[in-house]
Amino acid sequence: MLSVVIITKNEEMNIGRCLTGVREIADEVIVVDSGSSDRTVDIARNLGARVYHQDWLGFDKQKNYAASLAVMDYILFLDADEEVSDDLRSSIREALVKKDCVGWKIHRKTYYLGKVLHHVWHREWLLRLVKRGEGHFEGDIHEKMICKGKIGKLQGPVLHYSYKSLADQINRLADYARQTAILMEKEGYKFHFYNLILNPLWAFLKVFLRGGFMEGYRGILIAVFEATYTFLKYAFILERKLQKKNAKLWM
């Protein structure tokens, strides 16, 4: 009845925990890997997952491809760094018995530097459980599930083990900023000087004033990194603009 779908790359620290959490409810587990150089694939196979290789297509296309491999009536989409809680497992079972919706949102709670956050990133309700064929993802980077029909909410959280370290967070936000800059440029965004100052400042304040200050030093770090991501995003747009203007100087 239930297919669990996960996309991976170099997730050996997380994939075992993720797969163990769905062992009791999954009729099949599909892992689509985009070229891991660690033990991710071996761990997934040893835990009974069907593993496929697919070169990276972008977050939405990669997940849509993974969904196309599922054969069960319902699909649960998880990230490799997530874990289904006991309460959520029970709620999923009940939902699949009632079958009164075509999709269900799940509340995600995030661990950051060894502690669950309660005031930042805590309002995340993500559409993750859908009837097969009733939903698809859109968005190359910040992908979103699109599903028409009645949507319910499940009890119990999915636990998100966000970053392996601060170094991991820095590397990933720089990569996301670069990818976002490319997409914004394709969509015709025009760079303005104030983007480098006002946008990062606003990004910091949004996080800090909307609960970040209640998370102590963790909230400060998250707010600073959000500002850093925003600054880098516009800096990369500026860089690409300068490269096109003086292409020979960048060779």
pLDDT tens, the chain, 251 aa long: 999 999 999 999 999 999 999 999 999 999 999 999 999 999 999 999 999 999 999 899 999 999 999 999 999 999 999 999 999 999 999 999 999 999 999 999 999 999 999 898 877 899 999 999 999 999 877 788 999 889 999 999 999 998 889 999 999 999 999 999 998 988 888 899 999 999 999 999 999 999 999 999 999 999 999 999 999 999 999 998 888 877 666 55
Query: Strand 125-131 relative to strand 50-53: parallel, antiparallel, unpaired?
Result: unpaired
Superfamily of chain region 2-161: Spore Coat Polysaccharide Biosynthesis Protein SpsA; Chain A (3.90.550.10)
pLDDT, position 161: 93
Amino acid 248: pLDDT: 65
Q: Which three-class secondary structure state does DSSP give residue 213?
A: helix
**C-alpha–C-alpha distance, residues 129 and 153, integer Å:** 10
Give me the residue spans of the domains in the chain: 2-161, 166-250
What is the predicted pLDDT for the residue at 250? 59
Q: Give the Cα separation of 198 and 244 in Å (integer).
A: 25
Cα–Cα dist 28/22, whole Å: 10
CB-CB contact of 170 with 178 (8 Å): no
Supply the pLDDT for residue 215: 92
What was the pLDDT predicted at 85?
Answer: 96
